[in-house]
Structure 1
Amino acid sequence: MSPYTFFIAGAYGVTAFVVAGLVLRAVLDYRAQVRALADLESRGVGRRSRRG
């Protein structure tokens, strides 16, 4: 085993944790945006792309 094994494994672990956090944040934000859009549409506010 290399003397750098724990450093490299730790770096991979931290990177995996950060990437998982970013993915989770993107999923939660997507869900919030879908809810906000549904709320606006239920109040009668339409999308601009449908007007044209």
Structure 2
Amino acid sequence: MTGPHAGFIIASYAIAFAVLAGLIVWTVADHRLTKRALEKLDARRPRRSEAGRP
């Protein structure tokens, strides 16, 4: 890649890589926050007792 547009092409690839890496980090962080929130809600949920079943 030594043509007149090499700098533009390399910069485009670098920006695309940075955007994709950012999206992956954001998705993983959101997954962890959502999982933690769901675990808190599940802990607050009243449990049914097995004794009441026939």
TM-score under structure 2 normalisation? 0.80
Q: Distance in 2 between matches of 1:15 and 1:45?
A: 47
1:40 maps to what in 2? 41
Larger radius of gyration: 2
Gaps of 5+ in 2: 48-54
Query: Relative to 1, partners in 2 of residues 1:18 and 1:45: Cα closer, same or farther, differing over 3 Å?
Result: farther
Q: Distance in 2 between matches of 1:17 and 1:45?
A: 44
Gaps of 5+ in 1: 47-52
Q: Deviations over 1:2-47 (max 9, x none)?
A: 000010000000000000000000000000010000000000168x
TM-score under structure 1 normalisation? 0.83
Cα RMSD over matched residues?
A: 1.5
1 or 2 for the larger relative contact order (CA 8 Å, sep ≥6)?
1
Q: Distance in 1 between matches of 2:46 and 2:7?
A: 55
